[in-house]
């Protein structure tokens, strides 16, 4: 399980490394962040019992 999250973190780090901070619009980052937060409940509801216990 830890390796799954490690893989996810690696992918996010790769995505972040491609972001040019000066050219990335802060409003777009905020929109993406809020959209991801809105999906947390859906992820929790579809998670298996073990994954729900981790949260």
Model confidence pLDDT, tens digit, residues 1-50: 566 788 888 888 878 777 666 556 778 888 899 998 998 888 878 877 66
- The token pair that represents 6 in the structure block: 């490690």
pLDDT at residue 35 in the model: 93
pLDDT at residue 38 in the model: 92
Burial 24-46 (b: 16+ CB within 10 A, else e): eeeeeeeeeeeeeeeeeeeeeee
- pTM value surpassing 0.75: no
Q: By the 8 A CB rule, do 44 and 52 touch?
A: yes
- Higher per-residue confidence, 26 vs 51: 26
Give the HSE-up count for residue 9: Cα atoms under 13 Å, Cβ half-sphere.
Answer: 6
Beta strands in 1-55 (DSSP E): none
């Amino acid at each position: 399980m830890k390796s799954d999250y490690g893989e996810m973190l690696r992918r996010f780090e790769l995505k972040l490394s491609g972001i040019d901070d000066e050219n990335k619009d802060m409003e777009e980052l905020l929109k993406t962040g809020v959209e991801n937060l809105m999906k947390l409940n859906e992820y929790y509801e579809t998670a298996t019992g073990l994954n729900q216990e981790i949260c």
